[in-house]
Each structure stands twice: as C-alpha cells, then as structure tokens.
Amino acid sequence: MPHPYAAIPEFAERYSTSGLMRMPPCDDIPLTPRVRRLIDTPAFQRLKQVSQLGLVRMVYPGAGHSRFEHSLGTYRTALQFLERLSGDDRFTAAVSSRQAELFLLAALLHDVGHWPYCHPLEDIAAEGVVVHEQLARQAITTGPLAEALADDWQVDPAEVADLIAGSTTSTGDEIVASMLSGPIDVDKIDYLARDSRHCGVPYGQNFDQSRLVASLCLNEAGNRIAVTDKGKTAAELMVFARYVMFSEVYWHHAVRSSTAMLQRAVFDVTDRLDWAYLFASSDAQFAEHLRQHTTNIPASALVESLFGTQRSLFKRLAQYSYLDSPELHTKLARQPYAWLVERSSQLAECLTKQLGIDVAPHEVLIDAPPTKLEVQFNVDVCYTKRDAYRPLGEVSPVVRTLAREQFDNYVKQVRVFVAPRVAQAARGVDIDRLLDEVTS
C-alpha cells in the first residue's frame, strides 16, 4: 500500500542529499525546485533583512539571525512533524495529502508578512499599523508568491493564508492548525532553540527536540496534537525552556528598555510615518526612515539612542512582578498603550515637582505586558499502555502552575524606565506611591 503522502515531492525527498541549503548549527534544509522558487521570490528574500529578535541584539549581540533563517528552520521542523505523524492511522485518515501540502507551505510562509519590530509596534496599536498576518495574506495572494503557488502547487493561495490565520473547516484543518500554532508547534520548536543558540544562552536548547517530535500523536478527540507519555519529560523541558527564554531573553530588562523607547518614539510620530514603506522595509531602512521623521522633536533623542552611533538606554527605576507586587502589576498590565502613555506623562509631572528638575513626558516610560496574551501551554499526554489521556498540567508539577495560571503574569514584569539623567536624580524616590497616585 503506497504511503499516504508519497505523492508530495517535499515529503518523498526529505532525505535527499541534493538541493540542500545549510544553516547553523548543522541543519540541512532539503529544497525541491518548487520550494526554491518560493524562497527566491522578493517577498521571501526580504526576510533576510528582517531580524528575528529585533532589539534583543541590543543586549545579546549574537542575536542577528533573520526571519528568513527561522522560516526555513520552521519548514524543516514541519517535515519532521509530518514524518512522525504519517505513521499514525488517525492522523492520515483525517489529514489529506492536500492538507499536508498546505501545512508545509504555511510553515514555510508563516512569517512572510513580518516587518521590522512588528510585534512591539503591533502591541501599541498605533494608527496606521497593519498586523503582520494581514500583510502575510497580501504577500501570499498577490504577485510572484501567488503565481508560484498556483503554477507549481495547484493551490489557491488564499487557502495557505487561511491556514496561517487559523481558519479551520474540518478536523484535518484543526489538526494542522494546532501543528502551526499551539502549545507544541513547529514555530516554537524552531525559535526556542535557534534564538537561544544565537543569543549564546542554553535555556532554549535544553529540551529534547527529537524525543518530543518522536512522541507526537493525536489527542483523545482526534482534533489536535498531543504527546505520548514517552515525551512527557521533553514536553516539560520545553515548557520550562519557554518560561526561561521569556524571563531571561525576550523580557530582559534592557531589552524591554529599548523596546519601550522604540514604542514611545513611534507612538509620538505615527502620523508622520509612511507605513506602506515600513511594511516592506528592512531593519536598516526602518531605522533610517524613523530617524528622518523624528528630526528636531523629542522623539529624536529616543531614536538616536537606539539607532545612532552611541547606545544610551533608559534606566530601570522600578519593576513589579505579579508575585511580589500583584496590585500594581494588575493595575498596569494589559492596559491600552495610550493609557500607559498618559500615566507616564503624569508620572513625569510628579517627578518634576518632587525632584525640582524638568522631567519631559518622553523621559518616563511605563512598560507593561500588552493586551494580547501568549498562547497557554495546555497539551494532553497519552498513556499508551492504558489508552488514557491526561492534561500535562495535571500530571506534571513542573508544568502545573504555568498551565493553569496566566503565563504572562509570571514572565512579564511591569517596569518604569527613565532617561539616564533622571535616574540619577530619582534615586530614593517613593515611586510606588507616585504610581499609585497616577493610577488611582
């Protein structure tokens, strides 16, 4: 009996030694002619000039890898997922060869709509900003990408865009959507290890990726992926890897300082910017455009500190975790960005009165978890000998808290950043009291 996915060239040639693209550390990405045509399009090639981690490189200088590299790594992981699950009768009964092809395409193209620093700028909901998922749909359904999909794959480009957006109309769609975006998905498995490697930290590399992939199965309902009990430890380690990467890398205080500075600069000049140009820009083009449009206004100091010749990040005046300061954290977390700007300006006025120096509104920044929440880690474990399924959070003390409580509360702190000159003058100020005043 022929293999259910044998007609998919990418699956059939996954072990081919020809047409390989090599990436660090020793990843071989098998490329069929029709995949190579997709990655050679202008929309995909642009991702070489868009960094995967943006301002994280302000703290971790090795973090210069691109969305291009991550997209190829995600595609490679998708092939591994498909290989493992193609041996599962329930999976092959639900996921057709066509849906498997769409899954590979969605994995490869999932980031094609990304533009420089888009995640933190989407968080502030500035006027003119279009979310990257919409831009991905536009890139996939028009131009050379759409032509390649229609010519070589005989698929409607909108189907690929729909899958990336999470639209589902069948059980097979639900399954592949969970493989693209869920507790254990091809995106997270690649970025955790790749980001960790480039940052020079061990946190995201210390989960057993091969064991995790080898344990993939379907949940009891048969509509999402799960793991067998043999993969339980690997899944636990992935949960912890994600927790530590957020705590130590993505939400490192200096990374968040630079992020808060960029957000405020863009917020102050959003009506001056050419967003259509920025959506299609490289990191360097984005920085230059922002510098040109903040000349001789307060935001220029923020932009030059980030993209100029000398780095000068704002200093951390205070920080509040959900565990240590639940009241202040709750008051400020997940508030609209415009509201945070108003509170920051009021806090600047309070500091002006208390310190006896002029503190400008843009010299005080409140950085808080955004309104959008991270995906919760909630995956089932299949105990094969008993044919029983249990949520990982119920059978793992390591995962229990992060699976049942809001992940963001434990990894994303509220911080107050101020300009360096203000930080020196504000030592000893009762910032808790001032924050309480401006948020009451």
Same domain for 387 and 349:
no
Same domain for 391 and 425:
no
CA–CA distance, 213 with 82 (Å, rounded to integer): 10
* Buried residues in 74-94 as b, exposed as e (16+ CB within 10 A): bbbbbbbbbbbbbebeebbeb
* Residue 299 belongs to a domain: no
Same domain for 332 and 185:
no
Q: Phi/psi of residue 390, each to 5°?
A: -135, 140
| Tens digits of pLDDT across the chain (440 residues) | 668 899 999 999 998 888 899 888 767 899 999 999 999 999 999 999 999 999 999 999 999 999 999 999 999 999 999 999 999 999 999 999 999 999 999 999 999 999 999 999 999 988 889 999 999 999 999 999 999 999 999 999 999 999 999 999 999 999 999 999 999 999 999 999 999 999 999 999 989 999 999 999 999 999 999 999 999 999 999 988 998 999 999 999 999 999 999 999 999 999 999 999 999 999 999 999 999 999 999 999 999 999 999 999 999 999 999 989 999 999 999 999 999 999 999 999 999 999 999 999 999 999 999 988 886 778 999 998 898 999 998 898 878 776 556 678 888 999 999 999 999 999 889 999 999 999 98
Same domain for 71 and 32:
yes
Same domain for 51 and 190:
yes
Q: Output the average pLDDT for the chain.
A: 94
* Residue 310 belongs to a domain: no
Q: Tens digit of pLDDT for each residue in 372-389?
A: 888 677 899 999 889 899
Is residue 282 within 8 Å of 275, Cβ to Cβ? Answer: no
- Find where tokens 């409580």 sit: 405
Same domain for 21 and 124:
yes
Give how many domains the chain has, as a whole number: 2
Q: Where are the alpha helices (DSSP H) in 369-439?
A: 392-395, 397-404, 407-411, 420-425, 431-439
Q: Which two tokens stand for residue 262?
A: 């960029």
Question: pTM for the complete prediction?
Answer: 0.95
* Residue 125 belongs to a domain: yes
Same domain for 213 and 156:
yes
Q: Which two tokens stand for residue 315?
A: 């200093």
Q: Where are the alpha helices (DSSP H) in 86-155?
A: 89-94, 97-109, 118-123, 132-141, 143-148
Cβ neighbors of 196 (< 8 A, separation 6 or more) are 202, 203, 204, 205, 241, 245, 249
Same domain for 109 and 49:
yes
Same domain for 155 and 45:
yes
Q: Which two tokens stand for residue 258?
A: 């630079």
**Which CATH number covers residue 174?**
1.10.3210.10
* Cα four-point dihedral sign 68, 110, 133, 414: negative
* Residue 1 belongs to a domain: no
Phi-psi region for residue 428, left (φ > 0), alpha (ψ -120 to 50) or beta? left
* Residue 56 belongs to a domain: yes
- Find where tokens 């957006």 sit: 165
* Residue 3 belongs to a domain: no
Is there a cis peptide before residue 183, judged by omega within 30 degrees of 0?
A: no
* Residue 187 belongs to a domain: yes
Full domain range(s) for residue 423: 315-369+412-440
Q: Tens digit of pLDDT for each residue in 215-246?
A: 999 999 999 999 999 999 999 999 889 989 99
CA–CA distance, 49 with 285 (Å, rounded to integer): 9
Same domain for 396 and 344:
no
Same domain for 177 and 104:
yes
* Cα four-point dihedral sign 414, 416, 420, 423: negative
pLDDT of residue 1: 60
CA–CA–CA angle 35, 36, 37 (5° rounding):
90
Amino acid in the structure at residue 66: S
Q: Phi/psi of residue 372, each to 5°?
A: -80, 130
Q: In the chain, what percentage of residues exceed pLDDT 90?
A: 85
CA–CA distance, 65 with 192 (Å, rounded to integer): 13
* Residue 122 belongs to a domain: yes
Same domain for 237 and 354:
no
CA–CA distance, 219 with 323 (Å, rounded to integer): 33
